[in-house]
Amino acid sequence: MSKPPATEVHTTGLDDEVAALFPDVDSGVARRLIASAVRAFAERGYHATTTRHISEGAGLSPAALYVHFTTKEAVLHEVSRVGHLGVLDAIRTAAAAEPTPPQRMRALVRAFTSWHVEYHTFCRVAQYEIAALTEEHYAEIADIRRDTERFVRREIQAGVDSGDFTVPTVATAARAILSMGIDVARWYHPGRSTDPDRLVAEYADLAAAMLGVQG
Amino acid sequence: MSKPPATEVHTTGLDDEVAALFPDVDSGVARRLIASAVRAFAERGYHATTTRHISEGAGLSPAALYVHFTTKEAVLHEVSRVGHLGVLDAIRTAAAAEPTPPQRMRALVRAFTSWHVEYHTFCRVAQYEIAALTEEHYAEIADIRRDTERFVRREIQAGVDSGDFTVPTVATAARAILSMGIDVARWYHPGRSTDPDRLVAEYADLAAAMLGVQG
């Protein structure tokens, strides 16, 4: 087993993350810029990253960023927007495919956890750097987050209403389940001795137990 | 109710956080420097913070930092070390005061959650900026984290062994419980409509349910 790196930020596989998250970006250059920006933001933080770091990290000339993005903040906005919308879509789709509240909830937790495993570097930036967004862009991301929390709360409430769940504190349970998944972006990296499939399955079980799934 | 600020980083009460966490630092100047550093790291990130930012944020001359700390990294190291040791001590003390595994676990979760509420700005830095530490300092923090995880796993295992808990996945449950608490440092701020005492009590209940507490 390989020794894990000394630091916390791991950007291997980032090009694959970006390719999966930006299927509509048909410019390879734009994708390389996004991957380079996420890498730089994750490694040194948004404020210490320059547009030159981003361009040169993509193997391009210093001003290349401006062909595709107006500012450094525009890249962070795009990364945050795509990340937050993507995970909301993933949990909605996962839940919709299941017939009962407990099955829907397990599918939701599996999808949410998988997302934060698969896109861990990307999520790290989307979750921890967004204080740097403009007020308008921050408000847009905050709205998507509220939609996500609301969706999880409704799914839990549906299970309480059907008698499948016994949890008395729906809003706090939603927060706890979201935190379990989001924090994966902080601690997970491929070098760790964590099997992603097992983690995803066990988190679904733990969330079900937390909600007091009956039977 | 006051409107929450537009951004995510909230540093009100930081001087109180530092005073509580550094009772042995009897120099008011050193405390002001630590508070200023935590504020700057939380707001702009470690790499974009200069020693000048830290000194001037404390109302001191540009070079004042060096009277108390050899480098900017030394401040981050001290903040990370005190934060990680402090929370480990807090959960050990809380658990030790209780007689049974379920009571010990509830006390542990209450203490862990309270810590991340009370020191949310401080924890934000200690959790999300430590990739910037030197390899040696990072290894020291990673050791404290391992001790913390090990302690939570042992507490869960004790409840499984006594028949109080039914959870089959001890290590993953420990991770989930830690994530619930750590992520509080990301989302909590005093302007939110979250009652800290209620959150702490509800998180203890949710963790107990997750572990399958009997009776």
B86–chain A nearest CA distance, Å: 20
Residue B27, SS3 per DSSP: coil
Query: Binning pLDDT at 50, 70 and 90, where does residue B5 land?
Result: very low
C-beta atoms of B45 and A43 within 8 A: no
On whether any CB of chain B is under 8 Å from the CB of A27, the answer is no
From CA B158, how far away is CA B61, in angstroms rounded? 53
Tell me chain A's radius of gyration from C-alpha atoms: 18
Handedness of CA A117, A108, A180, B187 (dihedral sign): positive
* pLDDT value at residue A1: 33
* pLDDT value at residue B15: 81
* pLDDT value at residue B13: 76
From CA B48, how far away is CA A75, in angstroms rounded? 18
| Whole-number percent of chain B with pLDDT over 70 | 93
* pLDDT value at residue B96: 97
Write the burial class of residue B135 (CB in 10 Å: 0-12 exposed, 13-18 middle, 19+ buried): exposed
On whether any CB of chain B is under 8 Å from the CB of A184, the answer is yes
**DSSP secondary structure code for residue B5 in this structure:** P
pTM over 0.90? The answer is: yes
What interhelical angle do A72-96 and A120-128 show, nearest 10?
A: 120
Query: Binning pLDDT at 50, 70 and 90, where does residue B4 land?
Result: very low
Higher pLDDT pick, B143 / B67: B143
On whether any CB of chain A is under 8 Å from the CB of B128, the answer is yes
**pLDDT in tens for each of the 215 residues of chain A?**
333 344 456 666 788 888 888 887 767 888 899 999 999 999 889 999 999 999 999 999 988 888 888 899 999 999 999 999 999 999 999 999 999 999 999 999 999 999 999 999 999 999 989 889 999 999 999 999 999 999 999 999 999 999 999 999 999 999 999 999 999 999 998 877 789 999 999 999 999 999 999 75
C-beta atoms of B179 and A179 within 8 A: yes
How many CB atoms are located within 10 Å of the residue A125 CB?
Answer: 26
Task: Give the nearest partner residue to A45 out of B46, B178, B212, using CB atoms.
Answer: B46
Q: What is the mean pLDDT of chain B?
A: 90
Helices (H), chain A: 14-21, 28-44, 51-57, 65-68, 72-96, 101-118, 120-128, 135-161, 170-182, 184-187, 196-210
| CA B201 vs CA A109, A113, B107, B208, B212: distances in Å | 23, 25, 10, 11, 17
- Nearest CA to A132 among B162, B82, B53, B7? B7
C-beta atoms of A6 and B46 within 8 A: no
Higher pLDDT pick, B24 / B57: B57
What interhelical angle do B14-21 and B120-128 show, nearest 10?
A: 70
On whether any CB of chain A is under 8 Å from the CB of B88, the answer is no
C-beta atoms of B48 and A45 within 8 A: yes
A134–chain B nearest CA distance, Å: 9
Average pLDDT over residues B42-63: 91
* pLDDT value at residue A108: 98
Task: Give the nearest partner residue to B176 out of A43, A169, A203, using CB atoms.
Answer: A203
* pLDDT value at residue A2: 38
On whether any CB of chain B is under 8 Å from the CB of A88, the answer is no
From CA A78, how far away is CA A47, in angstroms rounded? 16
Residues of chain A with Cβ-Cβ distance to B169 below 8 Å are: 202, 205-206
Average pLDDT over residues B14-18: 82
Higher pLDDT pick, B67 / A83: A83
On whether any CB of chain A is under 8 Å from the CB of B212, the answer is yes
Task: Give the nearest partner residue to B131 out of A9, A47, A173, using CB atoms.
Answer: A9
Kindly give, in sequence order, each residue whose CB lies less than 8 Å from that of residue A65, ignoring residues fewer than 6 positions away: A33, A51, A54, A55, A72, A75
On whether any CB of chain A is under 8 Å from the CB of B7, the answer is yes
* pLDDT value at residue B10: 63
From CA B194, how far away is CA B197, in angstroms rounded? 9
Mean pLDDT is lowest, of A151-165, B50-64, B194-208, for B50-64
Residues of chain A with Cβ-Cβ distance to B127 below 8 Å are: 186
* pLDDT value at residue B16: 81
Task: Give the nearest partner residue to A206 out of B6, B139, B210, using CB atoms.
Answer: B210
Residues of chain B with Cβ-Cβ distance to A129 below 8 Å are: 45
C-beta atoms of A206 and B172 within 8 A: yes
Helices (H), B99-134: 101-118, 120-128
Tokens 């896109």, residue located: A119
| Interface predicted TM-score of the whole assembly (ipTM), two decimals | 0.90
DSSP assignment of A3-26 equals PPPSSS---TTHHHHHHHH-TT--
From CA A19, how far away is CA B159, in angstroms rounded? 45
* pLDDT value at residue A214: 74
* pLDDT value at residue B1: 33
Task: Give the nearest partner residue to A182 out of B175, B183, B203, using CB atoms.
Answer: B183
Query: Binning pLDDT at 50, 70 and 90, where does residue B191 land?
Result: confident
* pLDDT value at residue B160: 98
* pLDDT value at residue B192: 75
Tell me chain B's radius of gyration from C-alpha atoms: 18
* pLDDT value at residue B177: 98
From CA B203, how far away is CA B109, in angstroms rounded? 7
Task: Give the nearest partner residue to B131 out of A8, A169, A209, using CB atoms.
Answer: A8
Residues of chain A with Cβ-Cβ distance to B7 below 8 Å are: 131, 133, 135, 138
* pLDDT value at residue B30: 87
Average pLDDT over residues B74-93: 96
